[in-house]
Chain A
Amino acid sequence: MLRRAFWGVAVALISVVVVSAAWYAVGSAQGPARRSASADADLGPPQGEPIKAQITDAPAVPPPIKRRSPAKVVVELEVREVTSEISDGVQYTFWTFGGKVPGKFIRVRQGDTVEFHLQNHPDSKMPHNIDLHAVTGPGGGATSSFTAPGHQSQFTFKALNAGLYVYHCATAPVGMHVANGMYGLILVEPPDGLPPVDREYYVMQGDFYTVGKYRAKGLQPFDMQRAIDEQATYVVFNGSENALVGENALRARVGERVRLFVGNGGPNLVSSFHVIGEIFDKVYTEGGTRYQENVQTTLVPAGGSVIVEFKTEVPGTLILVDHSLFRAFNKGALGMLKVEGAEVKTVYSGKEVDADYLGDKVVPSTAVARAAEALSRGALDPKAQIAAGEVLFKGTCSVCHQPEGQGLPGVFPPLAKSDFLMKDKRRSIEVVVNGLSGPVTVNGQQYNSVMPPMSQLSDDGIANILTYVRNSWGNTGDPVSPDEVIAVRAKTSRPPGAAH
């Protein structure tokens, strides 16, 4: 009895597991899976001769891996302590993986066996090691790579999980080593590679802490207290304020698909990565397997990454920022992607209007004000209405119906000597209040266009305009009172499709 009960529960549990596994395989709301290989896929032993890994300085990325079988890949990374510019006229002593910040971009394939050589240049003053987040094992390799100046270490790991991973130095004091620029990215491509794109770039953010203020000239030492207080002097992409601007800007052409491998070395700050003027078609959140679509700004954790993809639609300069905006404006977190090619006006027009705007500073037209004042006294006369209506007509109606009410043949019907207008006063009020679309015949000519409802006009404003129109350019008619407009508005409903 007990046993039977146990099995019943067990079967129920198993079926729950199967159901949830199936649901997971179909894909969550986060988006379709990028890779078929699961995290625990070993993908077999290395085949063929060992391959020396191609490694690149940012913003370059090594070419996609064409191999479809696992290999032994040898990575040689040299630690150098170098003094170079973090901003114009401002030097900083960076500790680097490969001579620059960020460190070399490493690209391997899931299932590869990576033989890692960490070399510490003889001129280095510090010992260093490396923790690759792509490593499954103690310290991510740090326990096996602690290396004195003028020495080298070797360890080997299997790239079990696909993804975009940060690597960094983990020597005490760790925060300081990272604050001095000791980080980079390693991409473990899925077995079948990533979908092809036209451009791939490597961008990595980091925060820096100097004794001197932002842009104080000269060699600036690391400021321990500012680092502890997390008050960055600089927040930059690729190790320098100038790494991705001007001549160093990233480049693409209109219509190309661009993939950015974005890392954040920190050591302290989380990045709100955004590209001004683009929408990320795909964001592989945190450098993982699944992607979100149509993203404006994505978080990149300190010690984390993201892959973003977008298609360039129009020419111009896209601006890469940390959308924590004082970092972009006052600390250097800004880069550029220059997109060249033909304008696509249907996507983006460029500036179409450049005009004065006075807002509520506009001095009310005296004629309109006088009519309003007369109305409030109950002494509105046609002369005042016509004067006010002329001002309002010029501001609202003349754009289409033209300043003399002559219209545009075949497009906008005339008001001057218009039989359609003058035949039916009530209808003319309805047209202004509710708009008019569809075929009409005016003075014997057919028109078929759309006039939106003039929702922005007041009832007395409409009355004044119509009184003016009915008594101008050869038209002669009785005035339209505000009460008539109110009556029409109360009794008619706006036809469908005429919304404004």
Chain B
Amino acid sequence: MSLVAGAAVALSVVAAAPASAPMARVGPGVLRPVYVPEPGVTEIAVGGFELDRVPVTHAEFLGFVLQHPRWRRDQVPALLADAGYLAAWAVPTSLGKEVEPDGPVTGVSWFAAKAYCAAAGKRLPTEAEWELAASAGRRGPDGRAEPGFTQHTLVAATAPVPAGRRRVGQDAPNFWGVHDLHGLVWEWVLDFNGTLVTGDSREGKSADTLRFCGVGALAAGDKSDYAGFLRAAFRSSLSARYTAASLGFRCARDLDAGAR
């Protein structure tokens, strides 16, 4: 009885969230990860949270850098960002003509993304949260129930890096009202190195623990979610100071924090 009531409340909350709000309410839900956390466990319960509807833009990140000069590319320590950090910008304090202000910011390290979110009173989403949001289709929380979803997300994931003029929020929102989860940019998550795809992703065991393992191993969950495998491989290739021309981020927030 109480479970039914809880579900009804959750649904009404989702319906009540205005589409124009910068953050969408996502979850609670059940995630079926491509790499299972331990043998036999194919589902992970994810609590509700708020997620930016679109990735952080160049213009927004420029505002952050101007307010926090230590994150300028000419001032950031090499320990916190590699040589590609904000390299597309004309100068450390201006985007220049080649960069679309409303395009997703890229060339940002995990440290910088984390600092940006903290300054906004938010945090990076966890991998499970991000994946839960991304697993939704247009009509329901599990896109795999919708025809063509798996192939579409794979094609989007493998499309070449956009020329840099694409703006955020141009695609149709998913069930949770979130845009750009497939095909615009890769995105940092808080625990990007939580899923340990080892250097050789065919190994049947993890680098450090027995919890995770590579593709083709017995611990792979949904083997048809190739886009999921690509994301996992991408994340596991990163270090926190790395940047990439195809890598951006968005922020999340606990439901409690949003209520406060």
Smallest beta-carbon distance A179→chain B, Å: 11
Contact status B200-A148, CB under 8 Å: no
Contact status A143-B199, CB under 8 Å: yes
Contact status A93-B158, CB under 8 Å: yes
Q: Assess whether B244 is interfacial by the CB under 8 Å rule.
A: yes
For A171, list chain B residues within 8 Å (CB): 201, 233, 237
Q: Assess whether B40 is interfacial by the CB under 8 Å rule.
A: no
Contact status A127-B233, CB under 8 Å: yes
Smallest CB gap from A140: residue in B: B200
Smallest beta-carbon distance B192→chain A, Å: 11
Smallest CB gap from B152: residue in A: A221
Contact status A126-B200, CB under 8 Å: no
Smallest beta-carbon distance B60→chain A, Å: 23
Q: Assess whether A222 is interfacial by the CB under 8 Å rule.
A: yes
Q: Assess whether B44 is interfacial by the CB under 8 Å rule.
A: no
Smallest beta-carbon distance A430→chain B, Å: 78
In Å, the complex CA distance between A138 and B246 comes to 30
Q: Assess whether B105 is interfacial by the CB under 8 Å rule.
A: no
Contact status A221-B199, CB under 8 Å: no
Q: Assess whether B14 is interfacial by the CB under 8 Å rule.
A: no
Known: A131-B200, A139-B199, A224-B226. A126 touches B234 (CB 8 A): yes
Smallest CB gap from B215: residue in A: A172
Q: Assess whether B238 is interfacial by the CB under 8 Å rule.
A: yes
- Contact partner, B215, options A123, A173, A228, Cβ 8 Å: A173
In Å, the complex CA distance between A144 and B238 comes to 14
For A126, list chain B residues within 8 Å (CB): 158, 230, 233-234
For B216, list chain A residues within 8 Å (CB): 172, 174
In Å, the complex CA distance between A400 and B151 comes to 73
Known: A126-B233, A224-B224. A146 touches B151 (CB 8 A): no
Q: Assess whether A342 is interfacial by the CB under 8 Å rule.
A: no
Smallest CB gap from A122: residue in B: B245
In Å, the complex CA distance between A222 and B151 comes to 9
For A174, list chain B residues within 8 Å (CB): 201-202, 215-216
In Å, the complex CA distance between A145 and B233 comes to 13
Contact status A146-B200, CB under 8 Å: yes
Q: Assess whether A34 is interfacial by the CB under 8 Å rule.
A: no
Q: Assess whether B174 is interfacial by the CB under 8 Å rule.
A: no
For A145, list chain B residues within 8 Å (CB): 199
Q: Assess whether B145 is interfacial by the CB under 8 Å rule.
A: no
In Å, the complex CA distance between A173 and B237 comes to 13
Q: Assess whether B150 is interfacial by the CB under 8 Å rule.
A: yes
Known: A148-B242, A224-B226. A172 touches B154 (CB 8 A): no
For A222, list chain B residues within 8 Å (CB): 154-155, 158
For B232, list chain A residues within 8 Å (CB): 172
For B215, list chain A residues within 8 Å (CB): 172-174
For A144, list chain B residues within 8 Å (CB): 199
Q: Assess whether B197 is interfacial by the CB under 8 Å rule.
A: yes
Q: Assess whether B203 is interfacial by the CB under 8 Å rule.
A: yes
Smallest beta-carbon distance A81→chain B, Å: 6
Q: Name which of B82, B151, B198, B199 has the most chain A CB atoms within 10 A of its CB.
A: B199
In Å, the complex CA distance between A426 and B245 comes to 99
Contact status A223-B151, CB under 8 Å: yes
For A125, list chain B residues within 8 Å (CB): 157-161, 186, 246
Contact status A170-B229, CB under 8 Å: no
Among A130-151, those with CB < 8 Å from B are 131, 138-139, 142-151
Known: A123-B245, A173-B215. A148 touches B237 (CB 8 A): yes
Chain B residues within CB distance 8 Å of chain A: 82, 84, 150-151, 154-155, 157-161, 186, 197-203, 214-216, 224, 226, 229-230, 232-234, 236-239, 242-247
- List 16 A–B pairs whose Cβ atoms lie within 8 Å, in order of A's numbering: A123-B161, A124-B246, A127-B237, A131-B200, A143-B203, A148-B242, A150-B244, A150-B245, A151-B82, A174-B202, A176-B230, A211-B155, A221-B154, A224-B151, A225-B224, A228-B224
